[in-house]
Structure 1
Amino acid sequence: MKARLLHTAALLMFTLPASAAGAAPAGEPAELYTRLERYHVRYSLNDDYTSSETHDWAMKVLKEKALSSAKETSISYSTSIEKAEVLSAYTIKADGRRIDAPKSNFQVETNTGNAKDAPVYSDRTTLTVVFPEVAVGDTVGFSYKLTQTEPMFPKQYSIVQYFNRGTAYDDAKITLDYPAALAAQLDVRELTPDSSTEKNGRKELSWTFSNKVPLKDKRNDYSVFDVDTLPGLAFSTFKSYADIAQAYGARATPKAAVSEEVQALADQIAKDQKTPRDTARALYDWVSTNITYAGNCIGTGAVVPHDISFILKNKMGDCKDHATLLQALLAARKIDSTQALINAGSGYRLAKVPVVSRVNHVINYLPAFDLFVDSTSDSTPFGMLPYSSQDKPALMVDGFKEGLKTPAAPAGSNVQTMKTRIRINDDGSVSGSVDVALKGQYALGLREGLRNASKENMDDMVKNVLRGMGYTGTGKFEGDDPAALTNTLNYKASFEFKNFTQFPGAGAFVIHPVFVSSAPVARFTAVGADDEATPTEFACSNGASLEEYVFTFPKKMKVLAVPDNMTFKSANISYKASYRLKGNQLTVTREVDDHTRGNVCAPAIAEEYKAFSKKVLPNLKAQVVYK
């Protein structure tokens, strides 16, 4: 599964423009749509590691844009190991009147099984409360308690709570209540100590926070997120991230035992394979393409895989089910592997305190080939990782190594080559073809799109693409089987369409792709097209694209001007273009190479991309002038 591995703090997150999490802003005050007049949360940990959390907040609606979101709120919990209780829900009108939400304003959506059977994969319950008579200037209030009746990990507990700098907090308070003798780690950032007491074998700590005048956040990219940069705290009984991996493995590894069913299946899949690597590839391919991804888990199932017999019977499972099944199949063929915990989202660093919320996905590692694989992706071939799994801290269940990360794609991994032939006829219409060769992530992304396309869409693909570009025409598409698990893809489109140029007569046209592709050269200028600064790290990747165009003009058409040749090179990206006119034929080559290392780029690289865009865009927009 790609969901959370442990129920951590339910963070109060409003999806309003002024509430995005980000790095410390500076400058002018932010435009506020709401403000949290009160936000109090209390976390209580019991001696048996069951726990509860109580949230109490009041939010004032400042502007019309926030009204729709402010009219309701929801909490989600696991029915089998958690209980939820709404303590209060109300609206305080601008004149001071309080209107409590009636029970009829509560709606519960529960994943349940058939009749008395338990639900197969998810027992998540969502409780939604609609606040009564909300208008701009009113305050909505909500208080609820979640009680966890069974810990996700035996004798372990961790929470994370943070505050968004773009949100107005008048009165925020966090309280921790736990056994005084408990060994735990605590990291507190930018909070004010409020109280510290110890009584009857329990310890209670509290902190306050306020952010009454939030400043405008200049951040414009949230693809890399580091919770340790925000005000808040983390609390954990885990001593290290190695302990988290060990706690997961204690219940997951036994599930990967080789049964008769697993042995028979592994032998069947691998019967024609000659080498161990070929065998590993065949087993990976089978799991990736035959086990459908299924989402949320039940209770402790969030950290414990299903039995393999269950996975095989239903041909579905979440990430830990995929990883456990693959580990068992590999073991059946004497290939050693282990599972590894990573973050599949925007987290590229582990928090200072070892909290489980920083790892939410499970993949496999094969030491014989020094290879990470993620079989939850049905479009990623053996030997590659999906982008979301690359360059991430990896917690190995067996053979844990401090600081280990999954690999980023090396430079030269992602390449597109596009060759276009266009013949312009006497009436201004054109005929021609486009040949595209893709490698790496570029191939994977387009394979997935083509695999999901209907036959009708495939038959009309060229016509529909031309129509989307403003042309009227027809054509034919042919290409590799998109279902194959390989890191390349080749395809060709032949076409005829009108209104490319106005001829006879004088005119001009811009040289651009006339068919869809994963990585046109112009795409590399989009990253730096925004003039605003990028003050934080952002997700990036390497890639190269080569476009070649050959235009054949009618004898009566005279080409008066073509764009200038150009070469540009900086530390991480280069561009080269040539335009050669010989007789009635124009040959154009444009080549861009972004050899950025890793999946996380510093703000300085964003500035480099901006400089690249300013230099290259005019060349891409330059026109061929004819008469």
Structure 2
Amino acid sequence: MRSTLPHLAASLLLAVPAGVTSAAATAEPAELSTRIQRYHVSYSLNADYTSSETHDWTMQVLKENALSNAKEASISYSTSIEKADVLAAYTLKADGRRIEVPKSNYQVVTNSGNAKDAPVFSDRTRLTVVFPELAVGDTVGFSYKLSQLEPMFPKHFSIVQYFNRNTAYDDVKITIDYPAALWTQVDARELTGAAATEKDGRRQLTWTFANKLPLKNTRRDYSVYEADEVPGLAFSTFKSYAEIAQAYGARATPKAAVTPQVQALADEIAKGRTSPRDTARALYDWVATNITYAGNCIGTGAVVPHDIAFILENKMGDCKDHATLLQALLAARKIESTQALINAGSSFKLARVPVVSRVNHVINYLPAFDLFLDSTSSTTPFGMLPDGSQDKPALLVDGFREGLRTPAPQPGSNVQTMKTRINILDNGSVTGTVEVATKGAYALDLREGLRGAGKQVMDDMVKNVLKGFGYQGSGTFESDDPTALLDTLNYKARFEFKNFTPFPGAGAFAIHPLFTSAAPVARFAASADEEGTPVDFACTNGTSTEEYVFTFPAKMTVLAVPDNMALKTSNQTYKATYRLKGKQLTVLRQVDDRTRGNVCPAAMAAEYDAFAKKLQGNLKSQVVYK
């Protein structure tokens, strides 16, 4: 089935003025709201690996709907290791007048610590300029320089640049200037490269690009997004992804030292545990539920974990801090582990050229159990990974293994069974029960939803759910403790409500769940956008079974029930049976998706959609009575 992974494609794109995702092109011209008239960027890398970059762009506003976003431009940078300077900011009116942005239109928001202390988790600064007197037909211009005073990783440098096919670019120019003796590699896609030049021991590379007649974007699904498939370039001094892992580990691994404080905490948490796996589970559970996840992960100025004493004192940390603390606690109990770099967004492949921006999250790997752990998720139990960490290339800091990936859930991992008993009374009202058992991701979804529910919400659960279905009623709800880090959850509801069926008289009703759940059969009937361009998409396995037993009153005669149905594709099966015996109708519906992996090829979308449409028809069929 199609996954509900977040669509994070935008997080992979460099922030350029258009601010839209790349297009799957058609022959139809795009309806343009803006036009990038000039976009020039130059990078200069020094021998000590400090660097600077200068951006200079102009954008014309073509439509009213673009004015709001076009009125502002921002620079985001790390205060501790970067410096930003605005070189020019202005509005160019359609009549030729140039209006400079006054200093009063600048705003700087800085994450800073107290006095001269460093900020707790993020030192990001955002400098924003607001363009004056902007109207449709005008052009905004912005030029700035960003100086990196300290390299993100010692003796290394990497950049990426992407361009959107559905954005109009008249004049793009990218220049990279660096010491000629430096080893580098480049991947340029759909760009025109000029001849490289060398002078005074430095080498300069230049590319140009234009997209003056962009085509309309018909892509709708960005659950899988690989930036290497769009125009742009990657430039890196890293020879391999193993080098990126080593560069990160050089400063992160020493932070995972076993101090007396760490040893004492690990011993306390592991007290009474009789096996290494049980100990590892206890340590993971403690970090996941006691250390709040906050701050930057991998990014400029954010590649070195905090000291463990600091993390424990604040009970808070970013992904590096979580991974470092858990690694230290495991080491204190003689359990080997290492940190692993992955992409937490919608990219499931490594870029052809190793660049730091493609690995933006840190988790742990325990070789003795061949197990990955992501303690930044406070709701994911030991042995599982949150959606964004599944089926991703993994760069082990220690013991790097080419081609290693985090696991995807195996078929049969995600299961829901719902049993509903419905007694229809002479007046058309009903009483009944619903019992739901879940496993895997379905259990996690429900646990997360129930964790934050207070007593009043739980007491009103049945009433509010019935109200959402359009019924006035009441009932009781009981559930397993949702706070435990387990991959199962069971709950039961009793209910009663009026006007389920107009009676006496003739009528009909559809068969559907009368209570909320994580994975109703109808969830598998969701079709993709038929007009969207077929692309690879995020998917996952799952099984959902719904059993209904209807007991009818003596005065009601059932005239017709839906037909039985059986469907089968290469990955999915559906079976529905409707058995009427006397005054009782038993319905059994089961859908089973055996998809392997978290990415499905574009060609599979048609199969999924055909299955979903047939399933929809069966779910809409009705019981007819008099």
TM above 0.5, yes or no, is yes
**Is residue 572 of structure 2 the alignment partner of residue 573 of structure 1?**
yes
Q: CA deviation digits over 1:275-322, x for unaligned, max 9? A: 111111111111111111111279975111111111111111111111
For residues 82-97 of structure 1, the aligned pairs below 5 Å read 82-97=82-97
Q: Which amino acid aligns with 2:553?
A: P
SS of match in other structure, 2:266: helix
Following the alignment from structure 1 to structure 2, what is the Cα–Cα distance between the partners of residues 34 and 298?
Answer: 32
Following the alignment from structure 1 to structure 2, what is the Cα–Cα distance between the partners of residues 13 and 511?
Answer: 50
Following the alignment from structure 1 to structure 2, what is the Cα–Cα distance between the partners of residues 625 and 251?
Answer: 70
Q: Assess, with a 3 A threshold, how the Cα gap between structure 1 residues 298 and 445 changes in structure 2: closer, same or farther.
A: closer
- 2:623 matched residue in structure 1: 624
For residues 325-336 of structure 1, the aligned pairs below 5 Å read 325-336=325-336
Following the alignment from structure 1 to structure 2, what is the Cα–Cα distance between the partners of residues 496 and 8?
Answer: 50
Residues 418, 434 of structure 1: 8 Å contact kept: yes
1:501, distance to aligned residue in structure 2 (A): 1.4
Q: CA deviation digits over 1:530-564, x for unaligned, max 9? A: 32354211111010100011111111111111110
Residues 67, 136 of structure 1: 8 Å contact kept: yes
Q: Which amino acid aligns with 2:610?
A: A
Following the alignment from structure 1 to structure 2, what is the Cα–Cα distance between the partners of residues 190 and 361?
Answer: 29
- 1:313 matched residue in structure 2: 313
Q: CA deviation digits over 1:106-145, x for unaligned, max 9? A: 1111111123322111111111111111111111111111
Residues 443, 489 of structure 1: 8 Å contact kept: yes
Question: Which deviates more from structure 2 when the two are superposed, residues 246-255 or residues 451-460?
Answer: 451-460
% identical equivalent positions: 75
- 2:49 matched residue in structure 1: 49
Following the alignment from structure 2 to structure 1, what is the Cα–Cα distance between the partners of residues 194 and 216?
Answer: 28
SS of match in other structure, 1:522: helix
Question: Which deviates more from structure 2 when the two are superposed, residues 288-297 or residues 433-442?
Answer: 288-297
Following the alignment from structure 1 to structure 2, what is the Cα–Cα distance between the partners of residues 387 and 9?
Answer: 21
Q: Assess, with a 3 A threshold, how the Cα gap between structure 1 residues 367 and 188 changes in structure 2: closer, same or farther.
A: same
Residues 340, 394 of structure 2: 8 Å contact kept: yes
Following the alignment from structure 2 to structure 1, what is the Cα–Cα distance between the partners of residues 528 and 52?
Answer: 48
Residues 22, 222 of structure 1: 8 Å contact kept: no
1:13, distance to aligned residue in structure 2 (A): 5.5
Question: Which deviates more from structure 2 when the two are superposed, residues 133-142 or residues 349-358?
Answer: 133-142
**Is residue 367 of structure 2 the alignment partner of residue 363 of structure 1?**
no
Residues 525, 613 of structure 1: 8 Å contact kept: yes
For residues 582-597 of structure 1, the aligned pairs below 5 Å read 582-597=581-596
- 1:200 matched residue in structure 2: 200
1:146, distance to aligned residue in structure 2 (A): 0.7
**Is residue 473 of structure 2 the alignment partner of residue 476 of structure 1?**
no
1:8, distance to aligned residue in structure 2 (A): 11
User: 3, 14, 18: which one pairs with 1:14?
Assistant: 18
Q: CA deviation digits over 1:156-208, x for unaligned, max 9? A: 00000010111111111111111111101111111012353211111111111
Q: Assess, with a 3 A threshold, how the Cα gap between structure 1 residues 390 and 522 changes in structure 2: closer, same or farther.
A: same
Q: CA deviation digits over 1:54-97, x for unaligned, max 9? A: 11111111112211111112111111111111111111122222
- 2:554 matched residue in structure 1: 555
**Is residue 250 of structure 2 the alignment partner of residue 250 of structure 1?**
yes
- 1:295 matched residue in structure 2: 295
1:493, distance to aligned residue in structure 2 (A): 1.3
Q: Which amino acid aligns with 1:12?
A: V
Residues 78, 299 of structure 1: 8 Å contact kept: no
Q: Assess, with a 3 A threshold, how the Cα gap between structure 1 residues 619 and 297 changes in structure 2: closer, same or farther.
A: closer
Q: Which amino acid aligns with 2:439?
A: K
Q: Which amino acid aligns with 1:167?
A: T
Residues 528, 605 of structure 2: 8 Å contact kept: no
**Is residue 282 of structure 2 the alignment partner of residue 278 of structure 1?**
no
Following the alignment from structure 1 to structure 2, what is the Cα–Cα distance between the partners of residues 175 and 493?
Answer: 65
Residues 13, 227 of structure 2: 8 Å contact kept: no
Following the alignment from structure 1 to structure 2, what is the Cα–Cα distance between the partners of residues 599 and 301?
Answer: 31
Q: Which amino acid aligns with 1:490?
A: N
Q: Assess, with a 3 A threshold, how the Cα gap between structure 1 residues 226 and 450 changes in structure 2: closer, same or farther.
A: same
Following the alignment from structure 2 to structure 1, what is the Cα–Cα distance between the partners of residues 212 and 600?
Answer: 32
- Normalised by the length of structure 1, the TM-score is 0.96
Following the alignment from structure 1 to structure 2, what is the Cα–Cα distance between the partners of residues 13 and 480?
Answer: 50
**Is residue 536 of structure 2 the alignment partner of residue 532 of structure 1?**
no
Q: Which amino acid aligns with 1:174?
A: I
Residues 189, 230 of structure 1: 8 Å contact kept: yes
Following the alignment from structure 1 to structure 2, what is the Cα–Cα distance between the partners of residues 236 and 245?
Answer: 14
For residues 256-267 of structure 1, the aligned pairs below 5 Å read 256-267=256-267
1:240, distance to aligned residue in structure 2 (A): 0.3
- 1:602 matched residue in structure 2: 601
- 2:351 matched residue in structure 1: 351
Q: CA deviation digits over 1:423-454, x for unaligned, max 9? A: 11111111111111110011111111111223
Residues 197, 203 of structure 2: 8 Å contact kept: yes
SS of match in other structure, 1:285: helix
Following the alignment from structure 1 to structure 2, what is the Cα–Cα distance between the partners of residues 346 and 9?
Answer: 12
- 2:3 matched residue in structure 1: none
Residues 51, 149 of structure 1: 8 Å contact kept: yes
Residues 73, 128 of structure 2: 8 Å contact kept: yes
**Is residue 136 of structure 2 the alignment partner of residue 125 of structure 1?**
no
Q: Which amino acid aligns with 1:573?
A: Q
SS of match in other structure, 1:592: strand
Q: What's the Cα RMSD here?
A: 1.7
Structure 1 stretches lacking a partner, 5+ long = none
Q: Assess, with a 3 A threshold, how the Cα gap between structure 1 residues 298 and 115 changes in structure 2: closer, same or farther.
A: farther
For residues 454-465 of structure 1, the aligned pairs below 5 Å read 454-465=454-465
- 1:165 matched residue in structure 2: 165
- 2:433 matched residue in structure 1: 433
SS of match in other structure, 2:427: coil
Question: Which deviates more from structure 2 when the two are superposed, residues 376-385 or residues 454-463?
Answer: 454-463
- 1:215 matched residue in structure 2: 215
Question: Which deviates more from structure 2 when the two are superposed, residues 299-308 or residues 462-471?
Answer: 299-308
* Stretches of 4+ aligned residues off by more than 4 angstroms: 7-10, 297-301
Following the alignment from structure 2 to structure 1, what is the Cα–Cα distance between the partners of residues 408 and 238?
Answer: 28
Residues 91, 98 of structure 1: 8 Å contact kept: yes
- Normalised by the length of structure 2, the TM-score is 0.96
Residues 81, 299 of structure 1: 8 Å contact kept: no
- 2:140 matched residue in structure 1: 140
**Is residue 549 of structure 2 the alignment partner of residue 545 of structure 1?**
no
1:227, distance to aligned residue in structure 2 (A): 1.3
Q: Assess, with a 3 A threshold, how the Cα gap between structure 1 residues 181 and 288 changes in structure 2: closer, same or farther.
A: same
Q: Assess, with a 3 A threshold, how the Cα gap between structure 1 residues 433 and 275 changes in structure 2: closer, same or farther.
A: same
SS of match in other structure, 1:593: strand
For residues 31-110 of structure 1, the aligned pairs below 5 Å read 31-110=31-110
Q: CA deviation digits over 1:389-427, x for unaligned, max 9? A: 110000000110111101100000001101111111111
1:27, distance to aligned residue in structure 2 (A): 1.9
Q: Which amino acid aligns with 2:294?
A: A
Q: Which amino acid aligns with 1:544?
A: T
1:30, distance to aligned residue in structure 2 (A): 1.5
Following the alignment from structure 1 to structure 2, what is the Cα–Cα distance between the partners of residues 166 and 494?
Answer: 53
1:11, distance to aligned residue in structure 2 (A): 3.4
Following the alignment from structure 1 to structure 2, what is the Cα–Cα distance between the partners of residues 486 and 392?
Answer: 23
Q: CA deviation digits over 1:355-411, x for unaligned, max 9? A: 011100011111111111111111111111111111000000011011110110000
Q: Which amino acid aligns with 1:217?
A: N
Residues 8, 159 of structure 1: 8 Å contact kept: no
Q: Which amino acid aligns with 2:546?
A: E
Q: Which amino acid aligns with 1:399?
A: G
1:616, distance to aligned residue in structure 2 (A): 1.3
1:40, distance to aligned residue in structure 2 (A): 0.9
Q: Assess, with a 3 A threshold, how the Cα gap between structure 1 residues 211 and 577 changes in structure 2: closer, same or farther.
A: same
Q: Which amino acid aligns with 1:286?
A: W
Residues 111, 119 of structure 2: 8 Å contact kept: yes
